[in-house]
Amino acid sequence: MSEMITQRPSGRSSLLRLVALRLCYGVLMVLAVSVLIFIGVQLLPGNAATAILGQSATPDAIRELNLQLGLDKPAVGRYLNWLAGILHGDFGISYTSRESIAGPLFVRLGNTLFLAGCTAVIAVPLALGIGFLSVRYQGGIIDTLLNGVARAAVALPEFFSGYLLILIFAITLAWAPSNSTLSDSMSFTARLSAIALPCATLVLAIVGHMSNMTRAALIAAQSAAYVDTALLKGLTPARILWRHVLPNALGPIINVVAINLAYLMVGVVIVENVFVYPGLGQYMVDSISKRDIPVMQDCALLLAGIYILLNLLADVLALIANPRLRHRR
């Protein structure tokens, strides 16, 4: 019996092993996504040299530019060179500006993370509060009203709600700018004012789903037998919900919050272009119109990497919050 006990892995080692396994899966996923990004870019119609020089360019000029950009080399070699550069911190040279991509890439990434961070600070507490109130007054007018607002927010696509907010708050009421342009000289308050509308658009995009899932997790936890016991002891429904139901529903809630924060990295591409916000999404869309292949590939891989990382974080948090997920049935 003592030998069996010593051979049995501890909970911490089991958790670390699962986290390491998830990290390996994440690395493999990023590599697979990099292959798909490279193939997708190569399948785009047209020629990068022609897009840069214009339709009036001569065949000799196009051929010369292809040689300069390395587009005459085999696709496999170009992919391996790009991947090796990324692993060494070299994001390549822009085809249009002929400058290093790393500088503007990380500036744009900082702007995107600033917008996503402000959205998360507002959306997460708001969604948790809506879900908590819906369960507290389940079946009543407040629950029905909050549920209706949440479902309407989920149904609205980002570009529609973005243009709707511009129409109301920028054009009709003139409370906020329609363009969310940032500059290095802007104060923190001015930056917050500039991102008010895109931040509100992203909040609408994720708060409905998070609040609905929070409500579902709390209702599922509320059906446990310990809730009936707590009621028999004379505890108020609000105290039971806050002290007993919420801690037991925390695992699924954390998971859905992390997944929705990962979704932000997808929705931000659309929202940045609606509000002309100088983030990573707009940088990528601009590079597509200019056929700036290195910028397109770097932006797409960076966004995909962040998305995979946040989903990995959701898996790890779910493993920590729910020990039953660490063991195979």
**Which domains are delineated in the chain?**
102-326 (1.10.3720.10)
Which H or E run contains 209? Answer: helix 196-222
Kindly calculate the radius of gyration of the chain based on its CA atoms and give it in whole angstroms: 25
Dist. CA 71–CA 48, nearest whole Å: 9
Q: Is 100 helix (H, G, I), strand (E, B) or coil?
A: strand
Dist. CA 179–CA 228, nearest whole Å: 54
Q: Output the DSSP codes for 137-189.
A: TTTSHHHHHHHHHHHHHHHS-HHHHHHHHIIIIIIIS--S-SS----TT--HH
CB 233 within 8 A of CB 197: no
Q: Is 193 exposed, middle or buried (0-12, 13-18, 19+ CB in 10 A)?
A: middle
Give CA separation, 8 vs 3, 86, 120, 321, in Å: 9, 41, 40, 21
45 contacts: CB under 8 Å, gap ≥ 6: none
* Res 33: pLDDT: 93
* Res 221: pLDDT: 77
Q: Is 9 helix (H, G, I), strand (E, B) or coil?
A: coil
Dist. CA 165–CA 178, nearest whole Å: 9
Q: Is 44 helix (H, G, I), strand (E, B) or coil?
A: coil
Structure-token pair, residue 16: 């670390």
CB 210 within 8 A of CB 227: no
- The pLDDT tens digits along the chain (329 residues) read 444 444 444 556 777 888 788 888 889 999 999 999 999 888 877 777 777 777 777 777 778 877 877 777 888 988 999 999 998 888 888 888 888 898 899 999 999 999 999 999 999 899 888 888 888 888 889 888 988 888 888 888 888 888 999 999 989 888 888 888 887 788 888 888 889 999 999 998 888 888 888 888 888 877 777 777 777 777 777 777 777 777 777 777 887 888 888 888 777 888 988 898 998 888 988 888 888 888 999 999 998 898 888 888 877 777 776 665 555 54
Dist. CA 75–CA 61, nearest whole Å: 21
CB 151 within 8 A of CB 208: yes
CB 110 within 8 A of CB 277: no
* Res 324: pLDDT: 59
Chain centroid to CA 194 = 21
Dist. CA 283–CA 196, nearest whole Å: 20
Q: Is 93 helix (H, G, I), strand (E, B) or coil?
A: strand
SS3 content of the chain, % helix, strand, coil (to 5): 80, 0, 20
